[in-house]
Chains A and B, each alone.
Chain A
């Protein structure tokens, strides 16, 4: 096995092209588990930890370009204002030790259906930036996840950043697990209200082969909010609306029975998370917590 340590992104891309047998590693919180348990013996590790290009974020008026190597700890500390949903999800990742090393880039690279960053990236309409010696391309998060632990990343590409729109309104994230720390999600859910467009966006994790949006729930809520003039009236959400929204989110799931939970429990829990997060986000909107991009 070789240990490749590029000093620049260009060098890393050249190595990636030359060594299709190399596994990229940054925080190591996924890759090293596979190494430690003999599940993976790649021809090389390609260490991305030293690449300053991946370690920065930059905010414009409506988007944050988040370098693939920015840790969850930094997202929590530095980006909770423009990206509250992603920051909330980051807070639920592993433990302080894991959040000091783990990155959204790694979450995207692993593409586990349980990755905590995925639902808020989907609701925000984020775009993944990948690079190779052939050039750079942008992949919408909605097109990123192809199957269980399979993504749109080509063999010669590296994830360089994710472009996340600044919150257009209240965002929420909720996750079910056996305890509050150190859990892989039994199921998770991100929700975003966009008052300017009247959109309600919701995505679920650990509930299907890939993280996914819930189009029927979104369409229902969007239409109901408009018909009832809720954005302008600002009245409490009717119970029937909240209930139906939860049912539609649960119906969007395609969960399985596995070591962490059962399909039936996941559907039930997703409906609960959907009702709770919609209620929390609506309360934030009514309380004037509305954010202007």
Chain B
């Protein structure tokens, strides 16, 4: 089927979408946006986190057809078109919050959402906001550093 989704501010027409396909698959394999990662495919890991109508969701648990007519923002859509990184992306680099990098896009979207809602989160709020994102490399300390760093940076 054909599905039209607003992705990162641009209306995209995706063809040959299978009716049972996830939004994650459509983003990666049909829209050419591999930022959101496919790890668990069951909502456990948060690596596929994207904004759907402004709220972070697991793209693997949204049927692509459900996103038709709605607005999706992926990690690629957080930087500017000329490649300038968002403050959360810069903070993850600066703090060394990235090791293998597989969980990073999801954590960045989740952090981006947190700071939009809570500009100066305390540690409990950070942990709660990132509780749906698993990282198996860092032990999370550098990720928490990155969130605190981003919170202290101009948006």
Contact = CB atoms under 8 A, between A and B. Distances in A.
A283 to B, nearest CB: 23
B65 A97 contact: no
Nearest to A95: B132
B46 A28 contact: no
Interface stretch (A10-18, A35-43, A81-89, A191-199): A35-43
A32 B65 CA distance: 12
A2 interface: yes
Contact of B131 (A3, A5, A45, A182): A182
Contact of A1 (B18, B44, B57): B18
Contacts of A176: none
Interface in B1-50: 1, 18-20, 22, 41-44, 46, 49
Given A5-B65, A28-B61, A96 B128 contact: yes
B124 to A, nearest CB: 11
B55 A2 contact: no
B1 A96 contact: no
A37 B63 CA distance: 14
B43 A33 contact: yes
Contact of B132 (A37, A49, A181): A181
Interface string A132-146: 000000000000000
B61 A29 contact: yes
Contacts of A182: 44, 131-132
B131 A32 contact: no
Given A1-B19, A1-B20, A33-B41, A97 B63 contact: no
A100 B19 contact: no
Chain B CB within 10 Å — which of A33, A47, A97 has the most?
A97
B78 interface: no
Chain A CB within 10 Å — which of B1, B20, B58, B65 has the most?
B20
B56 interface: yes
B66 A97 contact: no
Given A1-B20, A35-B22, A45-B19, A28 B132 contact: no
Nearest to A73: B55
Please classify the interface of chain A as helix (H, G, I), strand (E, B), loop, or mixed, using the class held by over half of its residues: mixed
A98 interface: yes
B108 interface: no
A45 to B, nearest CB: 6
Nearest to A42: B20
Contacts, number: 90
B110 A45 contact: no
Contacts of B65: 3, 5, 45, 47
B62 interface: yes
A44 interface: yes
A251 interface: no
Contacts of B95: none
Interface in A179-224: 180-182
Chain A CB within 10 Å — which of B22, B44, B57 has the most?
B57
A36 B22 contact: yes
A94 B43 contact: yes
Chain A CB within 10 Å — which of B18, B58, B60, B62 has the most?
B58
B129 interface: yes
Contact of A29 (B19, B43, B128, B133): B43
Interface of B: 1, 18-20, 22, 41-44, 46, 49, 55-58, 60-63, 65-66, 68, 110, 128-129, 131-133
Given A95-B131, A96-B110, A101-B58, 6 more contacts: A3-B63, A32-B60, A36-B42, A37-B42, A97-B57, A101-B62
25 contacts: A1-B19, A5-B68, A25-B63, A25-B66, A28-B66, A31-B63, A32-B43, A33-B41, A35-B63, A36-B41, A44-B19, A47-B66, A95-B131, A96-B110, A96-B128, A96-B129, A96-B131, A97-B46, A97-B110, A98-B58, A100-B55, A100-B57, A101-B57, A101-B58, A181-B132
